[in-house]
Chains A and B, each alone.
Chain A
Amino acid sequence: MDDITRGLAQALELILSGDAALFEIVLLSLQVTGAALALAMLAGIPLGAALGLGRMRAQGLVTIFLYTGMGLPPVVVGLFVYLMLSRSGPFGSLAWLFTPSAMIVAQVIIAFPVVAGLTMTAVQAVDPQLRLQARALGATRIQEMWTVLQEARIGVVAATVAAFGAIISEVGAVMLVGGNIEGKTRVLTTAIVLNTRTGDFALALALGMILLTLTFLINGAMLQLQRVRDG
């Protein structure tokens, strides 16, 4: 109990004092997760839409892969990315290991199946007649897809929010491929693990609360965007 109140107080203190190290950690968390989410959306939304519209060949197989990917333990993803990016691995020459780039790669792999899978479900839930209606009004294939995606937007936003939540709070993979290097690859979650390990429970809790607040604010913003659109 004592730790919890002290954690709260410390969280407030850290935020109010504008702690530079904290700011750096928060910024990196947002950058890595933001970049990973954007890339996952860029690839996952079109794939999810194509699957949802039934325009893929190996539909069933791809769907199973996506659903399996959604259940993949992040540590396993981290290990895989580690072995790929290691100097003795196939992509060692990139020198990405223990850099934010490696963390982004791992998070994209975690987020992508979530975005694609949930987008697919959202698109499937759109009235199939709508596509016919759009085409009857002169939509091209791409416009037709875009229209369906627009109709599925609540589900697509939900997919994005879910993927965001999965990677901003993820620790196993980024710890492994980022290395939790101070000032370079330390993000909120790995800092929390570090402080727990060293017994600084109050600080760990404070960082946890900051993470929670951040997630809350960003989710709020995403839902607000959606509401503005709905009028």
Chain B
Amino acid sequence: MKHFTFAFVLFMLGVSILGCAAPVSQPTAAPSVCTLRLATTTSTYDSGLLDAILPDFEKKFNCHVDVVAVGTGQALEIGSKGDADVVLVHARAGEDKFVKDGFAQERFDVMYNDFVLVGPKEDPAQVKRAQSAQQAFKLIADSGAPFASRGDKSGTNSKELSIWASAGITPTKGMKWYNALGQGMGETLLASNEGKFYALTDRGTWLSMTAKLPNLEIVFGGNTIDENPDKHLHNPYGVMAVNPDKFSGINAAMAKNFVQWILSPATQERIGAYGKDKFGQALFYANAAK
């Protein structure tokens, strides 16, 4: 009579014991128990950069790096709550505030990549003749050609808004041609491909997705970082070790090692080389101060 329920409860209990036991057993399976938690933006992780460079760190310091890849805003938030040991992001204003508020002692330049403006191959707004990003945006607004904004307060989104501001334009809901999607970069590019929108994107995402975006091409920003005519489109990444005085449990020593390591010439060289074999060009430009 009760066999069924009994068996069922037993089964679920068994699973739950497994579930609880597994996380405990995992650290013992790995050779080291040291972990460093890195909060970073999706671009560094999704581009494959971290997978390419982190094993060197893990081997050198015998310490596993847990990468939490989220939006820039969220990564800074995680850091400011003491839930990460190191933060690697691209949002200069946010980073400076992070340091000013005492969540980190110092911020270091690590590398930069750049943004490009993509749009329909026909280029209805004739953006290709623009000399600067500011001018390109003006041309789009004047022609009323549709533009897709991520609209998600990401680093890319805030960059886009700052360019609009420099062009003296404030995008509003009322503008028919302006579409704030509230989506990630990939989704925004896909939507732009379908709807023939202009959009601002980081070069890494663009390169990794071009095959899926047959209707789009780069209309401003050049084919490589070096060819980008507008330095304002550079997208600098900074690294910060979270201040251990603010929270307990921060792996401060290892965080310091990490900062030193990522700024070291050997790592910088690897960062600068990443992507050459896959995309034929580098995705990041290492620029740590010597």
Contact = CB atoms under 8 A, between A and B. Distances in A.
**Do these two chains interact?**
yes
B208 A199 contact: yes
Interface string A195-211: 01111010000000000
Nearest to B210: A199
B22 interface: yes
A225 B46 contact: no
B19 A100 contact: yes
A88 B4 contact: no
A199 B82 contact: no
B23 A87 contact: no
B68 interface: yes
B1 A199 contact: no
Given A34-B12, A87-B248, A225-B4, A179 B42 contact: no
A182 B67 contact: yes
Interface in B176-197: 184-186
A86 interface: yes
B68 A180 contact: yes
A169 interface: no
B15 A35 contact: yes
Interface in B1-39: 1-5, 7-9, 11-13, 15-16, 18-20, 22-23, 26, 37
Interface in A36-86: 36-39, 41, 86
How many of chain B's residues touch chain A, expressed as a range?
35 or more
B209 interface: yes
A27 B186 contact: no
A153 interface: yes
B13 to A, nearest CB: 6
Interface residues of A, number: 46
B231 interface: no
A88 B81 contact: yes
Contacts of B208: 198-199
A10 B8 CA distance: 34
A199 B12 CA distance: 36
A153 B4 contact: yes
Interface of B: 1-5, 7-9, 11-13, 15-16, 18-20, 22-23, 26, 37, 42, 46, 66-70, 81-83, 184-186, 208-209, 212, 247-250
Given A41-B12, A196-B186, 14 more contacts: A31-B15, A36-B19, A37-B12, A38-B19, A87-B82, A92-B247, A100-B23, A101-B20, A150-B1, A157-B8, A184-B66, A194-B46, A197-B46, A229-B5
Interface of A: 27-28, 30-32, 34-39, 41, 86-89, 92-93, 95, 97-101, 104, 146, 149-150, 153, 157, 179-182, 184, 194, 196-199, 201, 222, 225-226, 228-229
